[in-house]
Structure 1
Amino acid sequence: MPSAAPAIVPSRNERLVLAVDLGTSGCKVALIGMDGSVLAWTFRPVALHLVDELGVEQDPQDWWHAFLDGAQELLTSDTRRRRQVVAVCCSTFGECTIPVDQEGNALARAMLWVDMRGADAIRRRARRGRLNIQGYGPLRLARWLRLTGGAPSLSGKDPAGHMAWLYDHQPALVERTSKFLNALDFMNLRLTGRFCATYDSALTTWATDNRDLSQVRYDAGLLRLLGVDRDKLPDLVHSTEVIGHLLPTVADILGLAPDTKVVAGGIDNSAAAIGAGTVRDGELHLYLGTSSWLGAHMPHKRTHISTFIASLPCAQRDRYLAMAMQTTACGNLSFLRDRILFHADELLGDDQRTDVYPLLDRIADRVPAGSRGLFYMPWLHGERTPVDDRHLRAGLFNLSLEHTREDMIRAFLEGVALNTRWMLEPMLDFVDSGRGGAITIVGGGGQSEVWCQMIADVTGMVIQQPHAPIQANALGAAFIAGIGLGELSFHDVPALCRHRHRFEPRQALRHLYDDSFATFKQLHKRLAPLYRRLNQHRSVPR
């Protein structure tokens, strides 16, 4: 009887990671080599569900089906690719909450990072007595900051707020819940059958002691403060840990080997920091997706309470990631496209939609810098850094008869750029980085050369554009997998990340944008009290 042929083991250069980038708009799946080459990728959209005006949800089954559908497209076209895949690793958006039963079945849709139903519930837990600091009881705030590096968002937009709302309003559901999971935890559960959370995915439960990165753990006192049962939270693992192999059913569906490893991965900000190549201390990356953030690695835990910036656990075992987050970036362009330019009503039908973003670039590029005095405040869903204010709203200011749709389009882009400068100023101080450095831009918005140049001009910083900004999260997941498998180190990553273009700030526009930025901050100062009065007792418009 002939012996079985030996298994073909791909060389390091041929070994691939099936990398998953689950964002709010949908799921990207990519095949990425250990050298950072992206062989193929695909995208599947995922629907949003608006609930009771303050709620924003997604169905976790939609994430899973989007992943399977995209992965099958990439793998079925080439049997050789299936043999080359040695690991699966996910990057997902964070700050969402899914209650699951003992078998891992979702008991409800996921509450997302923009869901504000838990604001009142978490505010009751955050303060005690009349004395408070920015809405927090002083002793409670001090404990959160000392142990975690941050504190629950009083807007309710994180798992601490979500779970508080569920405990207060859905006690029967909580009783049936075996575990509360983040999106990353849910995907890893479906891949391996294992209940676990990474240090970064568990972070915004605000129940972990993060002072020692070698032993991040849940803190009993914080759990009591939040009113959350420890047994309803998954065990903690590091992002680079191999958490198991693909479940046989999943391996069979995808046509992958049953010994394909699954590496824990990270939430989007951790993965983007790696995929951008910004692994050294103080190197800044700017993510421009539905939301936006600035991130930079640091050697120690630190918090700046007045600007809502903190350094927190991330994918690197011995480093924290300083984070400054803003609620809406490219979401403003989606709003412009879906609610204004191509809103389906009597004036326009769905069949008239087109790939609008390249056109927006072209239009904005021919409008003079400064949008002819028109300003846009991009606070569609409140703001987080450098102010945590759920009452803020977006708007055009100084609109006149001379303005056209073209001016409005540029004003939308400039508004996000000015908002970026608003969070950049305290971030530079936080990470002790001067304006002489550069920012690597990633995410879907980073594909726009017009926007990259605009952000360079507005911030006065050099902007570095990678070859594929939209693939940074998937690339970060692939590098995390390579490190988890022992085939890469974090020191290897910068050389594997290639830049396509470098945008220098134009000195001729410096005075104009300095004046625009001063006006932008003044608009916030003047309008914030009015927004608070208008929106304090009403829900977020749908």
Structure 2
Amino acid sequence: MPNAEQATVSSSNERLILAVDLGTSGCKCALVGLDGSVRSWAFRSVPMHLVGEHGVEQDAEDWWQAFLGAAQELLADNAQLCRQVIAVCCSALHECTVPVDRQGKALSRAMLWLDMRGADAIRRRARSGWLNIQGYGPLKLARWLRLTGGAPSLSGKDQAGHIAWLRDHDASLFERTYKFLGPLDFLNLRLTGRFCSTYDSALTTWVTDNRDLSRVRYDDRLLRMLGVDRERLPELLPSTEVLGHLTPMVAETLGLSPATRVVAGMVDTSAAAIGAGTVRDRELHLYLGTSSWIGAHVPEKRTHLSAYIASIPCARNNRYLAIAMQSAACSNLTMLRDRILFHPDELMSDNSRPDVYPLLDSIADRVPAGSRGLIYLPWLQGERTPVDDRHLRAGLFNLSLEHTREDMIRAFLEGVALNTRWMLEPMLNFVGSSKGASMTVVGGGGQSQVWCQMIADVTGMVVEQPIAPIQANALGAAFIAGVGLGELSFDDVPALCPSQRRFEPRETLRGLYDDRFGTFKELHRRLAPLYRRINQHRSTPR
């Protein structure tokens, strides 16, 4: 994928979308044509701040400055290029909370999806008397599930937990807050001056009635359960809503026309589902990033309690997105690189790490399937699907003197693939798909052909690799902008997302990986009680 300096725009009259992809690590901006071609991109990192044992924050102003820096690099005072941009649309991380005043100024740093300070506060609100189900009062849980499709995380790692914590521990800040916003909401506020939230961005406040996607709204009883006034939450809108035009100040800063429109956009899970091209019902995509998920659009709102899978509002106005979440995917490779293979002294001159992932691919490809009996459990941050267990931890099983570093590298990749199969089983039943169907892989991990083939072999699924898997979120934002502007329909999207390679599961490896998967599940069954005993007084790693 070219960087901003290398990119060229093919036609001076081509209409472009300035697509924004704000993630935990930073903000990527891309210029995307309505044909799905990414003309150029730029990235700015955003620092993270640890607060005590459980707090994880980012400065919302850092989000904004990262956006401005990346966007200005793309546009680079190019008047012709600026005239081609017809709209701005954002995808952003979610389950994060930033309190702002009436002028839209952040009153504190944002609490991130990794922040667990709200665990006790939300548990108090979720419980009811002496009878509780997995920590929830039965009537409260029933109402949350019936109206929203889910319930607040008892770890405190979502907007509901953050708002509850602020109310209990910083009453002054809570009272001064005009609106509680998510990252997408904050970007849209700065772009247009509107205090608004998309249906998917507002989801993890767990106070919206999502039964009718044509009129998602706040529910008074859920608001009382959380302890927040309706007035402190933003207006609710669908992802395809045109919010208006850029503010004059933003337009001038970027060199864009004040007539440039802003489309509401979506959170990252919704963006990946659109950018993967999997917009038809029950088409599966696997996102391989820091964490991971399997998603598919479905027409109905459902919840699978025992497997922790739900269908929730998304960027498609008349569809829900079924999601199964895996806590750690590529973060296992980051840990392998930063904590095992390299020492801090081996940083490059710009404080970055060497790009070792292609090397890891080639090494893993030389090791026999099954890693010579070595099995890796990838639970660095507990797990979410098909078990919600914060006590689980990662580890290498069956390590012996005969094993090498090369075996460990392949075992790490296979461990994530085995965990993907673990959450795929209930997901297939949930969405009504059959094993052996296809699954599109996007995200940074989707760039690895070795990993794509491994996932196909381990899961038994055909894996489709798009031309640029890492661009899925930016493409999703651009396609949503096109739909919102009336330039595209969702039916157009699959043709704009062609695959570059198709990976078929190899029949010769089926027996081996079936056996490994059986061992993988048995290891969980036997080790889970031990993990719980060892880690019951420890928080989930951040």
Q: Give the TM interval when normalised to the shorter protein.
A: over 0.9
Matched, 1:444 2:444: yes
Counterpart in the other structure of 1:119: 119
List per-residue Cα deviations over 1:472-500 (Å, max 9, x = no partner): 00000000000000111111111111110
Preserved CA contact (<8 Å) 2:60 2:109: yes
User: 1:282–1:431: 8 Å Cα contact kept in structure 2?
Assistant: yes
Any residues of structure 2 matched to 1:361-440 within 5 Å, and which? Answer: 361-440=361-440
Instruction: Provide the C-alpha distance between the structure 1 equivalents of 2:142 and 2:180, rounded to a whole number of angstroms.
Output: 26
Give 1:140-539 correspondences, 5 Å limit: 140-344=140-344, 348=346, 353-539=353-539
TM-score, with structure 2 as normaliser = 0.95
Deviates more, 1:255-264 or 1:523-532: 523-532
Closer, same or farther: CA 321–407 of 1 in aligned 2, 3 Å: same
| Cα distance in structure 2, aligned partners of 1:13 and 1:404 | 56
What per-residue deviation string (whole Å, max 9, x for no partner) do you get for residues 213-250 of structure 1? 11000000011111122111111011000011111111
What residue in structure 2 maps to residue 4 of structure 1?
Answer: none
- Residue range with higher mean Cα deviation, 355-364 or 209-218: 355-364
Of 269-278 and 58-67, deviating more is: 58-67
In structure 2, C-alpha distance between the alignment counterparts of 1:291 and 1:209, rounded to whole Å: 28
1:54 aligns with 2:54: yes
> Helix, strand or coil for the counterpart of 1:41?
strand
SS at 1:14 equivalent: coil
CA offset digits 1:37-70 (Å, max 9, x no partner): 1111122222222221222221111111111111
Question: Partner of 2:7 in structure 1?
Answer: none
Report if aligned partners of 2:309, 2:385 keep a CA contact under 8 Å in 1: yes
Q: Report the residue type matching 2:179 in the other structure.
A: K
Cα contact 1:155–1:389 (8 A) shared by 2: no
Quote the Cα distance in structure 2 between the aligned partners of 1:447 and 1:245: 35
Deviation at 1:541, TM superposition (A): 5.0
- Does structure 1 retain, via aligned residues, the 8 Å contact 2:297–2:319? yes
| Partner SS for 2:30 | strand
Question: Residues 92-130 of structure 1: CA distance to partner in whole angstroms, max 9, x if unpaired?
Answer: 111111111111111222111122222222111111122
Q: Note if contact 2:381-2:541 (Cα within 8 Å) is conserved in structure 1.
A: no
- Give the aligned length: 531
Distance in structure 2 (CA, Å) of the matches to 1:254 and 1:353: 31
Deviating above 6 A after TM superposition, structure 1's stretches of 4 or more consecutive aligned residues are 10-13
The one-letter code of the counterpart of 1:320 is Y
For residues 372-425 of structure 1, give each alpha carbon's deviation from its aligned partner in whole angstroms, at most 9, with x where no partner exists.
111211111121111111222211222111112111111111111111111100
Structure 1 distance, partners of 2:168, 2:381, is: 24
1:5 is matched with which residue?
none
Structure 2 segments unaligned to the other structure (5+ residues): 1-9
Counterparts of 1:202 and 1:365 in 2: how far apart (Å)? 42
Structure 1 segment 44-123 matched on structure 2, within 5 A:
44-76=44-76, 78-123=78-123
Alpha carbon RMSD of aligned pairs, Å?
A: 1.6
Contact persistence 2:361–2:448 (CA under 8 A): yes
1:505, distance to aligned residue in structure 2 (A): 0.5
Partner of 2:4: none
SS at match of 2:456: helix
* Identity across matched positions, percent: 76
The separation in 2 between residues aligned to 1:144 and 1:11, in whole angstroms, is 50
Distance 1:213 1:541 in 2: 36
Q: Give 1:187 deviation, angstroms.
A: 0.7
Aligned-pair distance for 1:339? 2.3
